[in-house]
Amino acid sequence: MKDELKTWPPSKFAFEQMQAAGEVKYGLAIPWERIEELFGINDRESWPFRGEWFALRGMFEEAGLFVTEAKMNDIGFRFLDRVEMADAVRNRENKKSDDSLRKSLALSKVPRDGLAENDVKKIDHWEAKAALIGATSKVLLRKRSLPSPEMAIRSVKEYLKDATAEE
């Protein structure tokens, strides 16, 4: 199969072939054998396959589709239906905000004694930044109606200007 590749890398070739075959559609299930065939890599556990798979997933997302392996019993993957897309994004954003808060908490527990002042400042900075990102995300995720992006950016800029003036 590798000799037949007309486009490099294999992920791009796979994406082009799947699009041409009408296989990039909401709700469609794709068996792993199809991807192995397109990549020319039969070992799904290998790093070359995984690297190409992550790149292909990114191409699907850029095309407006998310994939899932959930409930596929290791047979393949499935493109989410259009109605599943918003819930998938909500779940991912909630996980990211939880992760930011968890990282902030972890940094808060790092002992500062014996560290250089610059290192302490760096830990404190990232602890505060991760907490701010996580908390802001949580507040925004709870809101039903959102301000326009311009208003949110202006509010953050004003906050930062005020915070800088206080220092």
Measured CA to CA, the distance from residue 111 to residue 34 in angstroms comes to: 51
pLDDT the model gives residue 140: 85
Q: Is the pLDDT of residue 53 over 80?
A: yes
pLDDT band at 44 (very low <50, low <70, confident <90, very high): very high
Give bridge partners of residue 67 from the DSSP assignment: 79
Q: In the chain, where are the structural domains located?
A: 2-80, 94-166
Q: What is the pLDDT of residues 54-103, one digit of tens each?
A: 999 999 999 999 999 999 999 999 999 999 999 999 999 999 999 999 99
pLDDT the model gives residue 153: 76
pLDDT the model gives residue 74: 92
Measured CA to CA, the distance from residue 19 to residue 42 in angstroms comes to: 21
Sign of the CA dihedral running 49, 81, 69, 30: negative
pLDDT band at 156 (very low <50, low <70, confident <90, very high): confident
pLDDT band at 162 (very low <50, low <70, confident <90, very high): confident
Q: Is the pLDDT of residue 3 over 60?
A: no
